[in-house]
Structure 1
Amino acid sequence: MHLDTLTANSGEWLRGTGPDSDVVVSSRIRLARNLSQFPFPVRAEDATKAEVFSLLSGTLGELDASPTLHPFDLGELEEIDAQLLVERQLISRELADGDGPRGVAVSRDETVSVMMNEEDHLRIQVLASGFDVKGAWAKADAIDDAIEAQLPYAFDEQFGFLTACPTNCGTGLRVSVMLHLPALVLTKEIQKVFQALQKIRLAVRGLYGEGSQAMGDFYQISNQVTLGLSETELVEKVAEVVPNIISYERRVRKALVRQDRRSLHDQIARAHGVLKSAQTISSDETMGLLSSLRLGVNLGLIDELDPATVNEMFIHTQPAHLQKLKGQELSSPQRNVARAGYLRDKLANAELDTDQ
């Protein structure tokens, strides 16, 4: 598996065909684990980290579980390749920006990635298209069991799985759902959602998780508590809450169409027009316009595009993807020009496909 092949597609989890994919882009399960015989990465010397990385890479490469995982050494990757993995949600910024022996093992379809020597020895992640936290959990649980059968985890009867950050102790589980909520943002109803989620101890984060800004009206909803509840209970909690947000977003979308269809259609058409004709465009502006475009596609106001194509444009217009597609390092102004060119070509080809 070569990282350059990633730019040829947008990953299985972005195919736009999962349950409730008009609102939910993806579901994610992440498990934090540490090996019992080694100090945590934050306290480990590079020699120890190298030993852990070698042990984990070998184990993951021969894991008796599906799918097959392909290890990558972050120390050997170019900075742009590490950024590419961040943009595709396969590794965290912390792992990309870290130092010392560390890496990731990735499945070819990009639904599974296992980070090594980030904050913990292991961060097992499973991504699924649409709203499928239970399916993602079943897959992550099977991979977790397969690893534990080979390597002993740091575990305490009282505190559960031991992690570098106390907030991850217990199950070490984060259940996340990435939602596209343009109607709630447009009507300023989104604050009501934030307040309700805070009351039940669910966190709201941006596109790239903790510490990131919300872009393109994308928000990640995840559990804050990992101790005191079982994995199944945590998955069920998120699974019960998210349908209410999905329903809320859909109701507001319908109300917008019913109350002022012409104005909404005009906003979406203008976004479409800018994306088809811009000669230079920033990443932030692109995300906002693509958000409107995605809303228009899901409301049936734009016929020549499908959700998967719009999702692909969200990913391929990010800085590392643009530079990989161009095959060269680009300054910020150069990326703005390349981004506009990519969007013009993509949308023109979509219109040609529709006409044929």
Structure 2
Amino acid sequence: MTSLEAKREQFRKYLERSGVIDALSKALIKLYEEANKPDDAVRFIRKHLCDTCPDDEAFDNMKADLIEANNTIIELERELNRVRGNIKRTPSEVLKILENGMQRLDKEESESPIRKYLPGAFEELKDLKSMFGTTMADIFNAGFENPHSEKLAVYVGDHDCYNIFATVLDPIIRDYHGIPEDEDFKQPETDFGDPTTLKNLDPDGKFIKTTKIRVSRNIEEYAFLPKMSEEDYATVMERTSQVLMCLEGEQDGTFYALEDIDSETKKELIKTHVAFDKVNKLLEAGGGYRFWPTGRGIYYNAPRTFAVWVNEEDHLQVISMSQTGSLPEIYRRLINAMPTIEKDLKFRRDDKYGYMTASPTNLGSTLRASVHINLPKLSADVDKLRETCKSLNLEVRLREEEIEPSLEIANKQKLGITEYEAVKIFQDGILELIAQESEK
């Protein structure tokens, strides 16, 4: 028996064993016995392949039932989020969360700064609340639930937290932004500088996949996401969308409520970093998904090089991006959008903390510049790369969840320096990393 004949015989036995031959034979016999032969024989055979297979009408009914069931699930999830968002903890519950959380951090030998600084401030602050009702249990819950998070798992519910809980938050802020203990931190005036003085990070396109610069803002009248009411979410989105629709030129775009975008389009927009979804476990534990998806929206231009996220982590995240390393162009596009956005919206800002945000990591200028970059030689030793990035005031994350794993590298410090200084630190650091990669 030839190799081809052997394969045919093997396949025939497979069809026989799996019941395919029997099912086809029965369908063909039905077709043979049919007095009035159908025009569409294939459809006839498909219909009679098995006794339990649904016909087209039954399939359409099943599909409609599935859509209805999914819509019901969405409504139930919305109602559950609404109930969660309105839960008020008693003082004894707050104390229990704090005590259990501290015990967990100790038990798991967490390296979180919460474990380092909370015990010394516990007695002083345990019973306090901010003007919007935020407690320490709210602020540190994300850290308690994620004791080994590489990211700082701290989310405040409103601007007043930075004053009420300064005893514990200020040391955490100093550690993250690299501000010495003997140095008072104060945010300089906003200064975006001159984008034309910046450089293209990767003119030959050898290393960088995408470059993104964003700033975060919170409107003065409202709490931050963890303490906003359902009405606040809707109002912030409505006010923000009206302002964004005034943008012109290369920032001209369209606003969409997140819940109005179909699933396939949303997946594609998330893949290209234009949209966001409910996927951040730290933000969820920190209360950032209250009343989801109420009040969440995105604005973006046709080329998808400019976007604004509404009520993702802060009220607004203004984003400029490109699949190149052209830093001057990306930065200029961001800067040019800000006067229109700031014209009718007054944002929460403090002389000490700068623009105020839910996460202490974003205080100050709030400016985060990042690249998705391939550095195969340097990334062969991730620990050494992390140390190198630290010395350059950068932070690195390995994005293994993507189809092609890559590095995301961004500036770390945002507080105590201007917007331009943050971008310049980022630029110089990325250029140094590329130089080191090229020398290896």
Asked if TM exceeds 0.5, the reply is yes
**Structure 1: stretches of 5+ with no match in the other structure:** 1-16, 253-356
Contact between 2:361 and 2:414, CA under 8 Å: does it hold in 1?
yes
1:110 counterpart = 2:298: no
| Cα distance in 1, alignment partners of residues 249 and 338 from structure 2 | 10
Q: Percent identity?
A: 24
Who is 1:33 aligned against?
217
State the TM-score, normalizing by the size of structure 2: 0.49
* Pair member with larger Rg: 2
Contact between 1:35 and 1:153, CA under 8 Å: does it hold in 2?
yes
Contact between 1:193 and 1:245, CA under 8 Å: does it hold in 2?
no
Picking from 318, 327, 338, the partner of 1:133 is: 327
Who is 1:239 aligned against?
427
Residue correspondence of structure 1 range 182-331 to structure 2 within 5 A: 182-185=376-379, 188-207=380-399, 213=401, 216-252=404-440
Contact between 2:251 and 2:333, CA under 8 Å: does it hold in 1?
no
Q: Secondary structure of 1:248's match?
A: helix
Structure 1 position 149, deviation (Å): 1.5
Residues matched between the structures, number: 230
| Cα distance in 2, alignment partners of residues 171 and 94 from structure 1 | 26
Structure 1 position 179, deviation (Å): 0.6
Cα 1:65–1:34 change in 2 (3 A) is farther
For the aligned residues, what is the CA RMSD?
2.4
| Cα distance in 2, alignment partners of residues 95 and 118 from structure 1 | 11
Picking from 70, 75, 87, the partner of 2:259 is: 75
Picking from 166, 173, 186, the partner of 2:360 is: 166
Picking from 329, 337, 340, the partner of 1:143 is: 337
Who is 1:153 aligned against?
347
Cα 1:136–1:115 change in 2 (3 A) is same
State the TM-score, normalizing by the size of structure 1: 0.59
Superimposed CA distance per residue, residues 71-119 of structure 1 (whole angstroms, 9 cap, x where no aligned partner)? 1111222344332221111133448984322110011001011000111
Superimposed CA distance per residue, residues 9-33 of structure 1 (whole angstroms, 9 cap, x where no aligned partner)? xxxxxxxx97241111121101110
Residue identity matched to 2:394 = L
Who is 1:51 aligned against?
235
1:22 counterpart = 2:206: yes
Who is 1:66 aligned against?
250
Q: Secondary structure of 1:151's match?
A: coil
Contact between 1:133 and 1:175, CA under 8 Å: does it hold in 2?
no
Residue identity matched to 1:241 = G
Specify which structure has the bigger relative contact order, considering alpha-carbon pairs within 8 angstroms and separated by 6 or more residues. 1
**Structure 2: stretches of 5+ with no match in the other structure:** 1-200, 281-288
Contact between 2:353 and 2:364, CA under 8 Å: does it hold in 1?
yes
| Cα distance in 2, alignment partners of residues 251 and 92 from structure 1 | 37
| Cα distance in 2, alignment partners of residues 155 and 66 from structure 1 | 28
Contact between 2:411 and 2:426, CA under 8 Å: does it hold in 1?
yes
Contact between 1:21 and 1:129, CA under 8 Å: does it hold in 2?
no
Contact between 2:392 and 2:429, CA under 8 Å: does it hold in 1?
no
Contact between 1:182 and 1:217, CA under 8 Å: does it hold in 2?
no
Structure 1 position 214, deviation (Å): 6.7
| Cα distance in 2, alignment partners of residues 248 and 203 from structure 1 | 17
Structure 1 position 242, deviation (Å): 0.9
| Cα distance in 2, alignment partners of residues 55 and 20 from structure 1 | 42
Contact between 1:205 and 1:213, CA under 8 Å: does it hold in 2?
no
| Cα distance in 2, alignment partners of residues 183 and 157 from structure 1 | 43
Contact between 2:245 and 2:254, CA under 8 Å: does it hold in 1?
yes
Contact between 1:206 and 1:220, CA under 8 Å: does it hold in 2?
yes
| Cα distance in 2, alignment partners of residues 32 and 220 from structure 1 | 19
Structure 1 position 64, deviation (Å): 4.2
Q: Secondary structure of 1:66's match?
A: helix
| Cα distance in 1, alignment partners of residues 398 and 254 from structure 2 | 28
Residue identity matched to 1:247 = A
Contact between 1:101 and 1:117, CA under 8 Å: does it hold in 2?
yes
Cα 1:20–1:229 change in 2 (3 A) is farther
Contact between 1:85 and 1:91, CA under 8 Å: does it hold in 2?
yes
Superimposed CA distance per residue, residues 266-306 of structure 1 (whole angstroms, 9 cap, x where no aligned partner)? xxxxxxxxxxxxxxxxxxxxxxxxxxxxxxxxxxxxxxxxx
